[in-house]
A = this chain, B = another copy of it.
Amino acid sequence: MTSLKPKATKQNIAHGVRKRLLAMLESETFGPGDPLPSERELMEMFNVGRPAVREAMQSLQVMGLVEIRHGGRAKVAEPSLGRMVEQIGETMRHLLATSSADLEHLKDARFAFEKASAERAARRRTESDLQRLRNILKLQDEARDNMSQFLIHDREFHRSIAAISGNPIYTALSEAMFSWLADFHIDVVLLPGREQLTLDEHNEILNAIEARDPGRAAKAMHDHLTRANVLYHRTHLSSPDQ
């Protein structure tokens, strides 16, 4: 018997079961919403114990590929970027909680991303896009006395700019970065008493996008985020910015 085994026993049984289940999900036999076989059926199907099946299913749930409900059969979930973001959200929260350096890196990455997003929006925006942005800004203006509501519209403004790209990855990333940073009370853009400044900057971004001027849009976004970040540091840390 040759000792050349390219596969051997990968890690554990559950891992093998997950692979087979993944193959099933990628085949044509299962589509989003379809119910999966019960755990008992699967353990007979794969000749493994229930723990192995449960572990594999649990793993698939964490991956966002199936939806498990107590008492009912698991259903095939529709793969979505939003679910993936949810998947790594808690991990990211833990990472940021234990490493303040990574928090700065994430803020920096968001800068670059939002700038690219604004540039792209300035190139691709349609009339309806502008209409939506204007509406959001109007709602945000009306909510300037309601901090939490004001923040919701702020988030929506950035999200919509990302959405104009037409690439759902942009939207998901915008949404994700915002919520990750918000978890750490870094509202990125907002400070009490500065609502008017935020609104003015948003307006400048909107004008640049309306004018189809990518460079101006990028600069407006950059100034917007930089100003907020500097203010944040001065207020919370009193430490100079790079």
On A, residues with C-beta under 8 Å from B are 12, 22, 25-26, 51, 54-55, 58-59, 62-65, 70, 79, 81, 84, 87-88, 90-92, 94-95, 97-99, 102, 105-106, 108-109, 112-113, 115-116, 120, 167-170
Contact of A94 among B63, B88, B97, B105 (CB under 8 A): B63
Count of identical protomers in the assembly: 2
Could you tell me the distance between the alpha carbons of A12 and B97 in the complex, rounded to whole angstroms? 24
Q: Given B25, B88, B98, B167, which contacts A87 in the complex, CB threshold below 8 Å? A: B88
**CB within 8 A of A109: which of B58, B62, B105, B170?**
B170
Show 24 A/B contacts (Cβ-Cβ < 8 Å), sorted by A: A12-B70, A25-B94, A26-B97, A51-B54, A54-B55, A55-B55, A58-B58, A58-B59, A65-B91, A65-B94, A79-B91, A79-B99, A81-B95, A84-B88, A84-B92, A84-B95, A87-B91, A88-B88, A102-B168, A102-B169, A106-B169, A109-B169, A112-B116, A116-B116
